[in-house]
Structure 1
Amino acid sequence: MEMRSLFGFDTSSFVLESTKQINLGRSPFIKERIDIMYRGEYVEDLIQQANQLPINESTFKVLFIENPDKRGEIPFAERKKIAREIGLQLKGKVDLVEPQMFFAIMPVGKGWIFGQYEKSESVWLKTQQKPHQYSTALSTKVARAIINIAVPDINGVKAIDPCCGIGTVLIEALSMGIDIVGSDNNPLVTGNARENIAHFGYKGEVLLKDMRDIQEYYDTAVIDMPYNLCSVLPRETQMEMLASAHRFAKKVIIITIETIDSYIEEAGFIIKDRCTAKKGSFSRQVLICE
C-alpha cells in the first residue's frame, strides 16, 4: 500500500521503475536506487554509452547490482567482469575502497540499465529506542510506512495525529520534515510524547485535546486506535470520533484491530485502500479513507 501511495501503482517484482524520485530515507522498503543514465539491449550498448560520459571529478566505483527477479542467472565472475569493463570506460579516478560516488549496472527485463547508484540507510532504526515505550505501539518501520501512505507528497501538506499516544508516528513524520501536529486526551501520554520527540532533537506540537474537540482543518490525519486492546470503546464513542475526523480532515488513515468498516462508512468516508500490518500476536487493519 505504501508503494501504491508513493508511486501510484504496485508491482510483484523486486524492481520498480518510476519517473518519481523518492528520497531513499523515507521508505523502510526501498533498499537502493539507480538513477538511470543509459539503457541498452546488450551490455556492449552500455559500454559504448558510458564512454561518452563527461570527465568525473569525483572518485567512483562501478557495481553490478544483481536483479532479484533474475537471481543466479549471471555467474559472480561474469558480474565482476561486466562492472570492470564499464568502469574502464568512465573518465575519472577509480577508488574501490572509499569512492565519493557509485555507479551501477543491472539487468532489467530484456535489457540493461546504467546510472548513478545510492543505497538506502535504515533511518527508522535510529528512533526505535525511545525514553517511553508501549508494547502495543506501532513499530517504527510500520509507523514510517503509514506516514508515507498518509503524506506521499510532503509539500504544502498539513497533517495531524489526533490519538498520538507516545508519538511514534509523529517522530517518523517530523524526521521527514512533514508539517504535523499531535494530540491526545490523556495527559500522561502527551507528556511522554513530548519527551520522546525532544529526545531525538525534533520540535513538534503535542496538544492535550480530545479529537472530538478539534476545530482546525487538516489535509490528512492518522488515527491509530490500539487502545481498544485495553478498553472496548462503545459504538457511540467510535462513531463520534470518526464523525469528528470526517469534519476536520480531507483524508484519514485509520489503524484498527477491529473491523469497523460499517462505522467508517456511516461516518461519511469511502474506504479507498487497505492492508494488514502485524506485530507480535495481533494484527492491525490500515485503511485509507476519504
Structure 2
Amino acid sequence: MDEFNVKPINYLYTYSCHEDELSLCRLEMRSLFGFDTESSILESSLRIDPSRSPFIKERIDVLYKENTVEDIARQVKKLHIVGSTFRVIFMKNDELDVSEKVGFEERRSIERKIGLLIKGKVDLVNPELLFAIMKGKNGWILGQYFKSEAIWLRHQSKPQQYSTALSTRVARAVVNIAIPNPLGIKAIDPCCGIGTVLIEALSMGIDIVGSDLNPLVLLGARENIAHFGFQTEVALRDIRNVTGKYDVAIVDMPYNLCSVITVQEKLEMIQSARRFSKKLVVVTIEPMDSAIQEAGFEIVDRCVAKKGTFSREVLVCE
C-alpha cells in the first residue's frame, strides 16, 4: 500500500472549457464547490474526483504552499514515500504573466531538485505516484497530482443513438449539477430516452433509475446501459405515473417533432416531479419558469448550455 506522511491542506483544480460551455461549467462549479471563478484554477477544501467533471483537467492535493522554490525544497525533505515509486513534474500555470513564467530548462531543473529531496524510490518512466510543483500568482505549491480521465468520451460510442439526446459531455455536467454529493442520494431520470444521463450517473456510482413512455427508446436505453456494463431499473412509464420518493429528478424536456407537448402537459410533468422529488434539474429549449413556479418549485440557479446556435437552458429547482 502506498502512503506518505503528509496530509493535504487543500485541493487545487484546473479547468478548461469552450466559450459555449462557460455558463454550464460555472454552474457545475457552483454545484460541486459552492462557488465559481473566472480563473482556470479553483482551490477548495473539498476533494472531488477530477474525472467526474468534463471540465476539470487535473487535481493537486496540496501538501505545501510556500513563497519560493527554496521554501518548498526545505519542506519536501519531510516527505517520505513508502511502498510506491514516484516522480515530480512541473505543472505550468497559463494564468501567469509572461514575465512570471518559468522556462523549459528551469522547469526541468526544479523537477530534478525537488525529486532528489523527497525520500523514496524515483521512477521517471512509470511511477506509481505523481507529485506536481506549480508556480502561482502568490507563491509556489507542491502536492500529489491526479489527471482527469475523459470517461464521458467513451460513452459517445453507444449501440443506440438518438438525434436529440444530450451530448455525453453535457449530460455528465448536468448529473454533477443535480447530484454534487452522491452519498445516500436516490435519483431518477423519468424521461430517460436512450439513457445518456443514466449512463453518466451510473458511471459515477450514483443510485439512479430511469423510465420513459416510449417503448422503442426504452429498448435502446437498456441496450446502451448494458453495453457499458451497468445495471439499473429502466421502466416503461409516463412521468405522471411515477411512484415512490426521490432526492432528485433530472428531466430533459421532450422537444423533437415526435414529442410535441402542450403547455398543460409540461405543467403536469413538472407537477408530477414535484410530487415524487425534493429537487429537480430541468433541461429545456423553451421557457419553463412559469410552469416550474406554478408547480411549487423555486429556481435556485440556472445556466445556458450552447452548441453553436443551438441553446438549452439548465434550471436547478428546489
What TM-score bracket applies, with the shorter chain setting the length? over 0.9
Task: Look up the SS of the partner of 1:136 in the other structure.
Answer: coil
Task: Look up the SS of the partner of 1:277 in the other structure.
Answer: strand
Task: After TM superposition, give the deviation of residue 57 of structure 1 in Å.
Answer: 3.3
Task: Look up the SS of the partner of 2:31 in the other structure.
Answer: helix
Q: TM-score, normalization: structure 2?
A: 0.88
CA 133–71 in structure 1, closer or farther in 2 if over 3 Å, else same:
farther
Given the alignment, which residue of 33, 40, 43 partners 2:59? 33
1:256 and 2:287 aligned? no
Q: Do 2:255 and 2:285's aligned partners in 1 also have CA atoms closer than 8 Å?
A: no
Q: Do 2:254 and 2:260's aligned partners in 1 also have CA atoms closer than 8 Å?
A: no
Task: Look up the SS of the partner of 2:268 in the other structure.
Answer: helix
**CA root-mean-square deviation:** 1.3
Q: Do 1:211 and 1:244's aligned partners in 2 also have CA atoms closer than 8 Å?
A: yes
Residue-by-residue CA offset, 1:205-248 (whole Å, 9 max, x unaligned): 10100001112110000000143454431111111111111111
Q: Which sections of structure 1, spanning at least 5 residues, go unmatched?
A: none
- Cα distance in structure 2, aligned partners of 1:229 and 1:27: 32
1:23 and 2:49 aligned? yes
Q: Do 1:228 and 1:257's aligned partners in 2 also have CA atoms closer than 8 Å?
A: no
Alignment of 1:99-118 (within 5 A): 99-118=127-146
1:125 and 2:148 aligned? no
Q: Do 1:160 and 1:180's aligned partners in 2 also have CA atoms closer than 8 Å?
A: yes
- Cα distance in structure 1, aligned partners of 2:191 and 2:239: 7
Residue-by-residue CA offset, 1:173-220 (whole Å, 9 max, x unaligned): 111110000000111111110011001110011010000111211000
Task: After TM superposition, give the deviation of residue 279 of structure 1 in Å.
Answer: 3.4
Runs ≥4 in structure 1, deviation > 6 angstroms? none
1:191 and 2:219 aligned? yes
Which residue number in structure 2 is paired with residue 271 of structure 1?
299
Which residue number in structure 2 is paired with residue 217 of structure 1?
245
Which residue number in structure 1 is paired with residue 117 of structure 2?
89
Which residue number in structure 1 is paired with residue 37 of structure 2?
11
Q: Do 1:154 and 1:178's aligned partners in 2 also have CA atoms closer than 8 Å?
A: yes
CA 216–85 in structure 1, closer or farther in 2 if over 3 Å, else same:
same
Task: After TM superposition, give the deviation of residue 68 of structure 1 in Å.
Answer: 2.1
Task: Look up the SS of the partner of 2:45 in the other structure.
Answer: coil
- Cα distance in structure 2, aligned partners of 1:172 and 1:94: 36
Alignment of 1:226-241 (within 5 A): 226-228=254-256, 230-241=258-269
Aligned length: 290
The range that moved more, 268-277 or 78-87, is: 78-87
Task: After TM superposition, give the deviation of residue 76 of structure 1 in Å.
Answer: 1.7
Q: Do 2:164 and 2:256's aligned partners in 1 also have CA atoms closer than 8 Å?
A: no
Which amino acid is 1:82 matched to?
Answer: I
Given the alignment, which residue of 184, 193, 199 partners 1:165? 193
CA 160–71 in structure 1, closer or farther in 2 if over 3 Å, else same:
farther
Which amino acid is 2:277 matched to?
Answer: A
Task: After TM superposition, give the deviation of residue 23 of structure 1 in Å.
Answer: 1.1
Task: After TM superposition, give the deviation of residue 272 of structure 1 in Å.
Answer: 0.6
Task: After TM superposition, give the deviation of residue 113 of structure 1 in Å.
Answer: 0.7
- Cα distance in structure 2, aligned partners of 1:182 and 1:209: 9
- Cα distance in structure 2, aligned partners of 1:40 and 1:205: 51
Task: Look up the SS of the partner of 1:202 in the other structure.
Answer: coil
Which amino acid is 1:7 matched to?
Answer: F
More strand by share: 2
Which residue number in structure 2 is paired with residue 60 of structure 1?
86
The percent identity for this pair of structures is 62
- Cα distance in structure 2, aligned partners of 1:34 and 1:189: 41
